[in-house]
Amino acid sequence: MWGPFVLTGCERPLGGGKLSGYDRAMADRRYPRWLWALVAIPPLAAVLTALLAPEPHGHWSEHLQSVGMKSAQLVLLLVLAMMLGWRALGVLLPILLAAVAAGIVLQVIGDYQVADSIWRTSGDPGAGNGYVEGHDTSGFGDLIVFVGGLTVAIAAGVMRRVPPLLAVVAGVMVIIPPPFLWPAAGVLVLVLYGLTSQSRFEPTKPLLRQEGATARA
């Protein structure tokens, strides 16, 4: 396909001919580039949560802030994935995205448990009911998001749904920022690419294979 970011030489139709009706329809379904501005929603949700949290602020409000950010990230990922459509994602990627979403849910539950435990406990917060359990739940969610997000990046690259360089960048962004701060940031980048590029997450073919097919024709 011919996405503006595709590095595989697929930015022109096979044989240099006109685009097919299906390809034109896929290109018409591309969303505007301003959709990338949506990446600001999770950090803004974190700031808003911190501002609305009652005093005194401290370790509990940091976990509450994480609840706001991760909840916004979860909703954003689900909405964008539905906009992209299951046909574009195929079979494997929706399963992996569901695993990432489940991990974020565990993160949100765990962070809320910790925040609620600290808020209701006077003295040592570690003695509060739900403090340890919340950290364990959130940590398990971190692990699922990390493994799931990295697998999404690898799968998208191996299946040639995105350019190899973008798959590598997305994999790095699964690690940095770390999942406990901003979960699945790399996955968000991949989904936004699929929405705003003409490739629409469709598998691409190597340039040499295309040129060979053209020569045989």
141 inside domain? yes
Contact 145, 103 (CB under 8 A): yes
In a domain, 51, yes or no: yes
**Nearest residue to 46 via CA among 76, 16, 91:** 76
Closest-CA residue to 109 (of 60, 167, 70): 70
8 Å CB contact between 110 and 137:
yes
Structure tokens that stand for 128 in this block:
């509060």
The predicted structure's pLDDT at residue 90 = 81
For the chain, 217 residues long, the average pLDDT of each consecutive 10-residue run is 34 42 51 90 94 82 92 96 82 93 97 86 65 93 97 92 93 94 95 82 52 47
The per-residue pLDDT for 161 is 87
Neighbours of 193 (CB within 10 A): 25
Query: Does some domain include residue 70?
Result: yes
Q: What is the DSSP letter of 30?
A: P
Q: Considering its fold, how many domains does the chain have in total?
A: 1
- Residue 9 confidence (pLDDT): 35
Q: Is residue 10 part of a domain?
A: no
Q: Residue 117 has what pLDDT?
A: 86
Domain that holds residue 70: 41-205
pTM: 0.78
**Token pair 């996955």 in the structure block, residue:** 187
Chain position carrying tokens 């060979």? 212
- As given in the structure block, the two tokens for residue 113 are 């448990």
Tokens of 91: 């079979």
What is residue 118's predicted lDDT score, i.e. its pLDDT?
Answer: 83
Q: What are phi and psi of 160, to 5 degrees?
A: 60, 35
pLDDT at 125: 62
The Cα 37–Cα 134 span in angstroms is: 32
What pLDDT shows up at residue 154?
95
Gap between the Cα atoms of 210 and 206, Å rounded: 6
